[in-house]
Structure 1
Amino acid sequence: MQLSIVIPLLNEEESLQELHDWIVSVMTDHGFTYEILFVDDGSSDASWDIIMKLAKGNPNVRALRFQRNFGKSQALHAGFGQAQGDVVITMDADLQDNPEEIPALYQMIREGDYDLVSGWKKKRYDSVLFKNLPSKLFNWAARKTSGVRLHDFNCGIKAYRKQVVKTIEVSGEMHRYIPVLAKNAGFTAIGEKVVQHQSRKYGRTKFGAERFINGFLDLITIWFVSKFGKRPMHLFGALGVLMFLIGFGFALYLGVDKLFINPFSRLITDRPQFYIALTSMVIGTQLFLAGFLGEIMIRSKKEETRYVITEEMGINTTTLSHSEQP
């Protein structure tokens, strides 16, 4: 199979039929062998009924349905686990991503030797104040922090070599940083393509202003994981030793001063250096222990990406992990 098109969705009943027909038209025109994999992230509207109808009329349609809304990252993770195509395309279900971009993205992966190609919505039809400017700031910070030179990290339409999606672990809200996760996993051939952005045709956006706050917090997380995820002792241990030495230095100074220089001076506990020494040594010990416990946790337990699937359509359930079963 040449293409797997993974589409996470939440309450997109108005757009699903049109999106399906558009994708099928593009696949037919270019002669691709393909599958469309819908991942219903706990929709409360008629999205699943429409997907089942589409699956009955098109054997290339497969689908998963979550028991509740677990998030886009979990939806992508589930879709990646089921994808069978040599190239995996992700796109949103709101018709703001253009299926006409798929053939060019496929060619960049197959012939351009890219591991991942991310879309860049250079011209956007979103609110300048509430989406465009925060998005530019967010992308600038992501470039500086991660070293991945992309203009639009959060663009929904991306293309991946199959090996990439089978290797990376997308959890929490890390879907924004899949290119960074891929880079950290050793897939460094990351490209970018300007894609057409379309204004939302149906419904309203599922993301509010809080996504930018969460995005920056996740950026800090992924920076830390990238730098120290496998060696937390290198950060916490170093800071802990530094703080402890500062505190020990003040304590040593107080001891020498009291014993040999000013033995009849005021009590050590009446001097501010005593509390600086005590606080620094306590904080240093705590930081060192945090790094030590982090090392133990990394070696003893791997966090699972959890979600519960209630229904599936054309899915091979033998590939699902225990955390994915209803």
Structure 2
Amino acid sequence: MTAPERLSIVLPTYNERQNVGRILEELLPLKQHFDLEVLFVDDDSADGTADLVKQLAHGQAGVRLIRRVGRAGLASAIKEGILDATGDVIVVMDCDGQHEPAAVEAAVEALLSSGSDLVVGSRFHPDAAIHGLSEKRTRNSTWANTIARYSLPGYRRLTDYMSGFFALRPEAVLRHVRRVDVNGFKFLYELLSISRGSLRVSEIPLRFQARVAGDSKLDLAIVWDLGVSILHTLLLRAIPRRAISFALVGLSGVAVQMLVVQALMSTDGLAFKQALPIAVVVAASTNYLINNALTFRFQRQQGTALLKGLLKFLLVASLPVLANVGVASTFYNLVSRNTFLAQLAGILVVFVWNYAASSRFVWNTP
């Protein structure tokens, strides 16, 4: 590969106003070596990040803003930035100061010298230095990378599948980027999973720094997304990611339903047939709230829409609720007096309907 004439750097942002000026200043010296394009992909930040980028772009050629309204998420921001970039080489990095701009040149050099399609900046390379992760975050990341390694047999030599820093050659990687599921969080993991070992990938060590300003975006939804991504890969991507998430939430509903049945039977003295309908409605309600927070978080209902969504969800679920009760009761009466098996039979009957109907009519997604 010849030295790139144009280098594109993709920086996903959400509420990073305090960081964009500093990181741009640190990246601008790269103009000495490349025709530089810096793309800030902003998810309509509430802190004025996009407005500041506009101001900075007035004085610097090659600085671009992609402001996304009505769509959000780290994976989709990275995907959109890569697809819109015009460089011969594209680098993706965080905007929070944890990735050193100095690593950009190292990544490009590694891409050129190794003949790789993709170069990953690794926090867990033997020569890396981690200054920006707590002991707990480091331990959790190590655990996640270990699981990821076994789900990606074509890339087991890598050390950091969750990195947010990587450089790529568009002509080799874009066909895979187009297929990345944007509902995920860890874009790199998704890209590696989709490519099924076909990319030539190498790593460079990162000096991972403490966040300069702003708040970390890590939350329960991101951890949940990672687990769903790994299961999606282990299931050979045969089942949609969202269906896997919906099913996992459904398993929590199974636990809720059975606990409520037991509580009503033991505490209130209700018979199984009396306790079951109440437990089914309680479980359906908790399923809605968890799915709203995790599975459909990018279409999350809030305020009065949350209550309306619950009513829609219960309405959509009303037919399978009846089926759940009917199948479970029939199983209990005719097949087995085992309440666990009876409830499980009813739950399995209604899963597909609940997923398809609620996706379309509650959260308005295909």
Any idea what the Cα deviations from partners look like across 1:62-120, whole Å, max 9, x if unmatched? 11101146100111111112111111100011011111011121122223111111111
CA RMSD of aligned residues (A): 3.5
Instruction: Tell me the residue number matched to 1:143.
Output: 149
Instruction: Tell me the residue number matched to 1:158.
Output: 166
d(CA) in 2 for partners of 1:89, 1:105: 8
Q: Structure 1 residue 222: deviation in Å?
A: 2.8
Instruction: Tell me the residue number matched to 1:176.
Output: 186
Aligned with 2:99 (options 97, 100, 106): 97
Instruction: Tell me the residue number matched to 1:107.
Output: 109
d(CA) in 2 for partners of 1:160, 1:189: 10
Q: Structure 1 residue 2: deviation in Å?
A: 2.6
Gaps of at least 5 residues in structure 2 are: 241-332, 357-364
Instruction: Tell me the residue number matched to 2:29.
Output: 25
Aligned with 1:223 (options 234, 238, 241): 234
d(CA) in 2 for partners of 1:223, 1:135: 19
Matched, 1:185 2:189: no
d(CA) in 2 for partners of 1:170, 1:180: 6
| Matched AA of 1:136 | T
What TM-score does the superposition give when structure 1 sets the normalisation length?
Answer: 0.67
Contact 2:53–2:65 (8 Å) recurs in 1: yes
Aligned with 1:167 (options 176, 181, 184): 176
What TM-score does the superposition give when structure 2 sets the normalisation length?
Answer: 0.60
Q: Structure 1 residue 26: deviation in Å?
A: 3.2
Matched position secondary structure for 2:147 = helix
Instruction: Tell me the residue number matched to 1:70.
Output: 72
Matched position secondary structure for 2:130 = coil
The structure carrying a bigger helix percent of its residues is 2
Gaps of at least 5 residues in structure 1 are: 230-269, 295-302, 305-326
Contact 2:91–2:166 (8 Å) recurs in 1: yes
Instruction: Tell me the residue number matched to 1:2.
Output: 6
Instruction: Tell me the residue number matched to 2:140.
Output: 134
| Matched AA of 1:46 | G
Any idea what the Cα deviations from partners look like across 1:115-150, whole Å, max 9, x if unmatched? 111111133234544311111111100001112222
Contact 1:120–1:155 (8 Å) recurs in 2: yes
Any idea what the Cα deviations from partners look like across 1:147-199, whole Å, max 9, x if unmatched? 22222222211011112135322333435153553463363211111111111
| Matched AA of 2:120 | S
Mapping of residues 199-210 of structure 1, within 5 Å? 199-210=210-221
| Matched AA of 1:167 | H
Mapping of residues 255-266 of structure 1, within 5 Å? none
| Matched AA of 1:218 | S
Contact 2:176–2:194 (8 Å) recurs in 1: no
Paired residues, what number? 253
d(CA) in 2 for partners of 1:179, 1:27: 30
Contact 1:146–1:180 (8 Å) recurs in 2: no
Aligned with 1:35 (options 34, 37, 42): 37
d(CA) in 2 for partners of 1:21, 1:101: 15
Percent identity between matched residues is 24
d(CA) in 1 for partners of 2:15, 2:334: 64
| Matched AA of 1:157 | F
Tell which structure's C-alpha radius of gyration is larger.
Answer: 1
d(CA) in 1 for partners of 2:115, 2:145: 25
Q: Structure 1 residue 208: deviation in Å?
A: 2.1
d(CA) in 2 for partners of 1:115, 1:228: 28
Per the alignment, do residues 165 and 188 of structure 1 end up closer, same or farther by CA in structure 2, a change over 3 Å counting?
Answer: same
Contact 1:74–1:172 (8 Å) recurs in 2: yes
Matched position secondary structure for 2:17 = coil
| Matched AA of 1:138 | A
Any idea what the Cα deviations from partners look like across 1:284-323, whole Å, max 9, x if unmatched? x98xxx8xxx9xxxxxxxx99xxxxxxxxxxxxxxxxxxx
Work out which structure has the larger RCO, using CA pairs closer than 8 Å and 6 or more positions apart in sequence.
1
Q: Structure 1 residue 3: deviation in Å?
A: 1.1
Contact 1:76–1:170 (8 Å) recurs in 2: no
